[in-house]
Amino acid sequence: MPFTSRELAPLVEGVCAEVIAHEKELTELDRAIGDADHGLNMERGCKAVRERLPGWAELAPGALLSEAGKTLVMTVGGASGPLFGTLFMRLGQGLGDAAAITREGLVLALGEALVAVRARGRAQAGQKTLLDVLEPVYARLGEQPAVSLAALAATAQAAARATIDLRAERGRASFLGERSRGHMDPGAYSSALIICAVCEHLGKGDAALRSGTMDIKQEEDRK
């Protein structure tokens, strides 16, 4: 950073590809504590973003992210569409019409986006949702001096794993009560996939930054 829409577009493409590649894993996670549709919903939304991405080439980075968020709201079913859509729409709005994204601008915009996600989901960290990944990553991103990409990716992965021990307090999974423990939250894992895909892209393909190496079955069996 800083980087413009020219650099942002392939990053968004890479994020979408990563989520699509993990559709089956996300579906299996949601099968255990939800409706078994999270993976398919996220896949559909990411495919829609990829299809529309070329048409956003001339937009400022903030506007591009806002359009991606609107697309997710319109195409992703269940609770995931409004939550992830709100995340990207408010992130884009926070970045405004700046020609390039800076670290400082990203930290401020992400903070505003998380406020909106908390309000939209009526949730907070610790309730087995995507916030259990986004909140610690946001905290690390704001550290001084700047945290490394590897540290951000590791934080996202560790936070997703930590949801295995949590009891769900929001969404369909909350109906299971104590039985929701022992399973990774699919929204948290989607968030980890997104963050690690961003880190990998910015790290120029460093395989150590990938979230795809996380063995969900092994992680859950370990608990």
Q: What is the pTM of this model?
A: 0.91
Closest CA to 194 of 139, 166, 157, 141: 157
Sign of the torsion formed by the C-alpha atoms of 197, 90, 73 and 52: negative
Kindly report, residue by residue over 25-58, the tens digit of the pLDDT.
999 999 999 999 999 999 999 999 999 999 998 9
Task: pLDDT band for 212, please (50, 70, 90 cuts).
Answer: very low
- Under 8 Å between Cβ of 173 and 63: no
pLDDT value, residue 213: 45
> Looking at the DSSP assignment, which residues form a beta bridge with residue 3?
101
Domains along the sequence of the chain with CATH = 5-222 (1.25.40.340)
Average pLDDT over residues 147-156: 93
Look over the chain and give the mean of its residue pLDDT values, rounded to a whole number.
Answer: 91
Distance CA 61, CA 57 (A): 9
pLDDT value, residue 4: 87
Average pLDDT over residues 53-79: 95
pLDDT value, residue 207: 47
For tokens 């670290």, the residue is 103
How far CA 38 is from CA of 20, 155, 159, 195, 221, in Å, comes to 11, 23, 19, 18, 21
pLDDT value, residue 222: 57
Distance CA 119, CA 25 (A): 28
pLDDT value, residue 187: 96
Q: How many CB atoms lie within 10 A of CB 157?
A: 22
Structure tokens at 186: 């699919």
Residue type, 217: K
- Tell me: pLDDT of 204 over 90: no
Average pLDDT over residues 72-84: 93
Kindly report, residue by residue over 95-126, the tens digit of the pLDDT.
999 999 999 999 999 999 999 999 999 999 99
In percent, how much of the chain has pLDDT > 90?
Answer: 78
